[in-house]
Amino acid sequence: MTLWGGRFSTKLNDQAWDLNSSLPVDQRMAIQDVDGSLAWAGALHKANILSDEEYTSISLGLDTAKAEFDSGEFLFVPSDEDIHTAVERRLTELIGVTAGKLHTGRSRNDQVATDFRLWMLQAIPHLLSAFSLLQTTLVEQAELAGETLMPGYTHLQRAQPILLSHWWLSHYHPLQRDRERFTDLIKRVSILPLGSGALAGTPVPVDRAALAESLGFAVASPNSLDSVSDRDFAAEFLFCATMTGIHLSKLSEQIVLYTSTEFGFFELSDAFSTGSSLMPQKKNPDVFELTRGKAGTLIGLLTGLLATLKGLPSTYDKDLQEDKAPVFMATDTLLAVLPVIAGALRTITTKPERMRNAIDSFMMATDLADYLVSKGIPFRETHVIAGKAVRVAVEQHVQLEELSLEAYQALSPAFEADVYQVFDPLKSIEKRNAIGGTSLQSVKNQIQQIKGD
């Protein structure tokens, strides 16, 4: 049974049928399709289009279909073009011709947009809990890190010492922004298209506000033409997912780097690393590399949908059928990646000595300049003097802390014996005590604020 056969003298070409059919993708919205239909049947009943008996029969039939989906017993047949057809076909088998009344005043255009939004409204909370797990892990690691120091990098060159806990939290905040983006998106998903008809609105006198409420939407869409073609929510969802993917990719890149023998800041647990079929010594960070790789795929899904939407004429066009697969794939990707990254980070071993040994006194060159600032010299001058000290030390193949007091005083008479205190990395860290800085207190405050949120 197709839903549109009457006007045609022959059936659709087999290959065209395959191209047109969306069941393999949209059967994932089966429950939402039934829920939308139950609500629509209710609206038709209220509008006196369905009698009491018809409404009861349709509702019971839909309940049965839903139970079949839940138990995995629902059987699709080759003529099911999409999930909407499948549900209506089954309803007809269950209750007979009355099923044909359900589609009164409704189109698959408002129906599919409704199903898709309903699906997304239930998917977002799943994603949010997956975020929580990883974020909790990051905060736990930050707390465990205590006073562990590590080198901070800019341009991947040693820059300034930081607290490891500060670094862990630097990966918490991007994820928090991602969460907020997903949460904020809910209000733009929670708009009901049902009752927009194919494009011009439904002739059935339905109370769309009540219909919206019955399905858990915040409001009914204000313009039927826009409503059947609006896929902003799908594009936004993909952006949120892609941004998350990019954050996870950046984190992964650092873990890949820091677990290398050259850095050796962390070691992955065996449960989250993989071996080589050839080289027995290898312990590979595949899960992080895959996460980094999947960020590329997510970017493709987002740009793909944006390209589909660009230049579509007003209202529904079949191009829009391309909207669901990328959203489903992005969701599956994040739901697969987030718990694995959480697990891998929860079980990672930190190597505080390796981190500490990677901090050299050149990383306190800024503190050296700040030292002279405390003696009243303008920073622009102290930056030059400290730079000269670096040059002398490099030329002499020594560390900054190994330069003699005479050598310092030759650069500026303001240097005194207490200059050597600036080469203590913990002192450097403790000075950075303003909100957001790397000092122990500042990071403690960050943790407290996060936990209070």
Give the residues lining the site for ligand ARG (CB under 6 A): 22, 26, 82, 108-109, 112, 316, 318, 320-321
Pairing between β-strand 191-192 and β-strand 349-350 as defined by DSSP bridges: unpaired
Catalytic, 51? Answer no
Give the residue with the Cβ less far from ligand ARG, 102 or 320. 320
Instruction: Please identify, using beta-carbon distances, which residue of 86 and 142 lies nearer to ligand ARG.
Output: 86
Name which of 251 and 320 has its Cβ closer to ligand ARG.
320
Q: Which of 9, 155, 277, 397 is catalytic?
A: 155
Smaller CB separation from ligand ARG, 2 or 132 = 2
User: Minimum Å distance from CB 229 to ligand ARG?
Assistant: 10
Residue placing its CB nearer to ligand ARG in the complex, 5 or 452? 5
Cβ-based neighbours of 267, under 8 Å, separated by 6 or more: 259, 283, 348, 349, 351
Q: Which two three-digit tokens encode residue 241?
A: 């997912």
Rounded distance between C-alpha atoms, residue 6 and residue 2, angstroms = 9
Minimum distance from residue 304 beta carbon to ligand ARG (Å): 15
SS (H, E, C) the chain: CCCCHHHCCCCCCHHHHHHHCCHHHHHHHHHHHHHHHHHHHHHHHHCCCCCHHHHHHHHHHHHHHHHHHHHCCCCCCCCCCCHHHHHHHHHHHHHHHHHHHCCCCCCHHHHHHHHHHHHHHHHHHHHHHHHHHHHHHHHHHHHHHCCCEEEEEECCEEEEEEEHHHHHHHHHHHHHHHHHHHHHHHHHHCEECCCCCCCCCCCCCCCHHHHHHHCCCCEECCCHHHHHHCCHHHHHHHHHHHHHHHHHHHHHHHHHHHCCCCCCCEECCHHHCECCCCCCCCCECHHHHHHHHHHHHHHHHHHHHHHHHCCCCCCCCHHHHHHHHHHHHHHHHHHHHHHHHHHHHHCCEECHHHHHHCCCHHHHHHHHHHHHHHCCCCHHHHHHHHHHHHHHHHHCCCCHHHCCHHHHHHHCCCCCHHHHHHHCHHHHHHHCCCCCCCCHHHHHHHHHHHHHC
Whose Cβ is closer to ligand ARG: residue 331's or residue 412's?
331
CA of residue 430 relative to chain centroid, distance: 34
Which of 79, 276, 314, 404 is flagged as catalytic?
Answer: 276
Is 155 considered catalytic here? Answer: yes
Q: Which token pair is 202? A: 């439904």
* CA–CA dist 264, 287 (Å, integer): 18
Q: How far apart are CA 294 and CA 303, in angstroms?
A: 14
Compare residues 267 and 317 and give the one whose CB is closer to ligand ARG: 317
Q: To the nearest whole angstrom, how small is the minimum distance from the Cβ of residue 159 to ligand ARG?
A: 51
What amino acid positions are annotated as catalytic residues?
Answer: 155, 276
